[in-house]
Amino acid sequence: MAKLKYNRNGRLLFTREMKKEYTILAPMMAPIHFRLMIDVLRNCGYHFELLDNCGPNVVQEGLKYVHNDTCYPALLVIGQFIDALHSGKYDVNKTALVITQTGGGCRASNYIHLLRKALKKAGMEQVPVISLNLSFLEHNPGFHVTLPMLRKFVAAMVYGDALMLLRNQTEAYEVHQGESNAKVEKWSSYLTDQFNHGRAMSRKEQKRILFSIAKDFETIEIKNTPKVKVGIVGEIFVKYSALGNNHLEDFLRGQDCEINVPGLMDFALFKVDNRLEDIKLYGGNPFKYLAVNVLMNYLLSMQNTLIAAIESVPRYHAPPHYAHIKSLIKGVIGYGDKMGEGWLLTAEMLELSEAGYENIVCAQPFGCLPNHICGKGMIHRVKAIDEKSNIVPIDYDPSATRVNQENRIKLMLAVARENLRSQNTERRNIV
């Protein structure tokens, strides 16, 4: 076993020796994206494993080791880690954990400290915790975010957005059930192989592959039956994680809906753009502004390639450009509102409604202040701008029952179906 080392503040470090022999566990959030990202980390020489354990035991472990007033995503992520470590599947003396930190004002940046406290309480304080961040919050000798790694992460995020979008816009209409998911598996395996050989990351390669993915999904036979279209917004973990939102996407598919979940790329652009806005509003290092601006332009170029690929197939609705999303909230909510999902949450609701996904589930952890202000608190403004908006805020919490959540969504869907019937009647009358 690698010798445990601590920094001068007493924090357990992930060392170079640990990199060789430790398994690093990562929590699940967005399945398509995270599987690709984990493959990127494996390609960089780390022994990563993506957790898929779920169920009531995860919640119970979270409640046991985290205060129940803590943000629900933190409780779930920590519960998933502790449940995995208690499963007997891993050697706790050769296992590390990784968790992201944005460095912003959201409580999410403090999850890492809650996790270490929980490990100590559970008698597993020898398990090191790695911070995955771009804000230089913590340093570990055995783990480094490099430029090549960052480049691969961006590529994985773009491909993940493409696969998620194409799957969601095809699955509800496919003639042969399961074809969309089969395409996702096919391209995920292909991309993993490409990453392992150092390919699929240049702009030229990304353009070729994204256009090929879109064309491949076009080969799926579909039936043009009108469906209720539902957008999902909210706090990032609860928005994407089936563990966090009680399998919301599966429920909506079971209700015969087409789903639209905005991609991770917009969130990444939002976080980088916030750094630029901070310098504009409050001043700062001009060299830092220049470096962040280079990253922003790189991300925008990747998004432009993604949009062009989706637009190349007329049957699909391409995601909007980041500049358009940002323009939608001008005069509605301030750009300085950037805690958690900040103004992006309001902008996503406006954009979804504008794009025809006016039936929206706003998924939020109970007590999440940014979500209650920028999500639930802005619903009346969104409806004032677009009266077609049909939005239901759903709180997710250990004490919230799945039946109650789904019943509230069913009420929203009842209105959506009535609106769809009215639209179809109007079209027939016009014809």
- Going from the C-alpha of 356 to that of each of 107, 183, 328, the distances in angstroms are 33, 26, 15
- Going from the C-alpha of 22 to that of each of 2, 96, 129, 265, the distances in angstroms are 9, 7, 12, 31
For every residue of 241-302, DSSP letters joined together read -TTTTTSHHHHHHHTTEEEE---HHHHHHHHHHHHHHHHHHH---HHHHHHHHHHHHHHHHH
pLDDT at 135: 67
**Domains of the chain, CATH where assigned:** 16-144 (3.40.50), 146-224+265-318 (no CATH), 227-263+320-431 (3.40.50)
Q: Which residues pair with 390 in a beta bridge?
A: 359
pLDDT tens string 224-271: 899 999 999 999 999 999 999 999 999 999 999 999 999 999 999 999
| CB 343 within 8 Å of CB 329 | yes
Q: State the pLDDT confidence band at 106, using cuts at 50, 70 and 90.
A: low
The percent of residues above 90 in pLDDT, for the chain, comes to: 67
Q: How far apart are CA 252 and CA 394, in angstroms?
A: 14
Q: State the pLDDT confidence band at 427, using cuts at 50, 70 and 90.
A: low
Residue 190: closest CA among 159, 150, 158: 159
Q: Average pLDDT of the chain?
A: 91
Q: How far apart are CA 169 and CA 315, in angstroms?
A: 9
pLDDT tens string 327-337: 999 999 988 88
Give the tokens for residue 87: 């499963």
| CB 107 within 8 Å of CB 99 | no
Comparison of pLDDT for 285 and 47, the residue scoring more: 47
Residue 200, pLDDT > 80, answer yes
Residue 388: closest CA among 359, 427, 347, 348: 359
| CB count in 10 Å sphere of residue 379 | 17
| CB 166 within 8 Å of CB 220 | no
Q: How far apart are CA 24 and CA 240, in angstroms?
A: 22
The percent of residues above 70 in pLDDT, for the chain, comes to: 96
Confidence (pTM)? 0.92
